[in-house]
Amino acid sequence: MEPIAAASSSQWGRLEAEILVAVGPVKADRKVRIELLPSALDHYTHSLPTPDQFVEGTSRIVNSGLAEVQGTVLWLTTTGERIWSRPHPDGYDAIPWIEERLKGFPMVQGPPVVDPEVWRGAIDRYLTPLSRRLLGRLLGRVPRE
């Protein structure tokens, strides 16, 4: 998998939009475990950000007041919920739509808010069962569903 391209340090980019789409159009304060995000990001983008990219993108989102994070849990704030406040496209089409909507929100740089090991662990938990199933299929040990 190729890493997702990181945004420049002075403006929103596709990475933040992809993370917000992975979190989904949820109500403020609905908490999403970070360990669930690799599956959503892989589904929507067919790639996963590196730990540094995930920390950078998530930190921009949180430091700008669009979400909050505590340990391994991420949730939208009321401000973040406004991104999804009007009819929006679903699935893949939501990424460029969110990217455009982000232009209306000021971006605040700040300190990292997620430990890169949290993202590494999430990726490992996501890829390990997948890798085992694929290897098993290649070796003819796991029947296709």
In a domain, 67, yes or no: yes
In a domain, 9, yes or no: no
**Cα–Cα distance between 67 and 82 in angstroms, integer?**
11
The predicted structure's pLDDT at residue 144:
47
Report pTM. Answer: 0.81
Which residue range is the domain that position 54 belongs to?
14-138
In a domain, 113, yes or no: yes
In a domain, 56, yes or no: yes
Count of domains observed in the chain: 1
Please give the helix or strand (H or E) that residue 67 lies within, else none.
Answer: strand 67-70
In a domain, 112, yes or no: yes
Cα 33 to chain centroid distance, Å, stands at 11
**Cα–Cα distance between 46 and 144 in angstroms, integer?**
21
Per-residue confidence of the chain (145 residues) as pLDDT tens digits? 434 444 445 789 999 999 999 887 766 668 899 999 998 898 888 889 999 999 999 999 999 999 999 999 999 998 888 888 778 888 889 999 999 999 999 999 999 999 999 999 998 888 887 676 676 666 665 444 5
**Cα–Cα distance between 65 and 105 in angstroms, integer?**
9
Q: List, as own/partner pairs, every contact residues 91-98 make where C-beta atoms lie below 8 angstroms and the sequence separation is at least 24, other chains included.
A: 91/44, 92/44, 94/21, 94/25, 94/44, 95/14, 95/17, 95/18, 95/21, 95/44, 95/45, 96/17, 98/17, 98/20, 98/21
**Cα–Cα distance between 12 and 34 in angstroms, integer?**
21
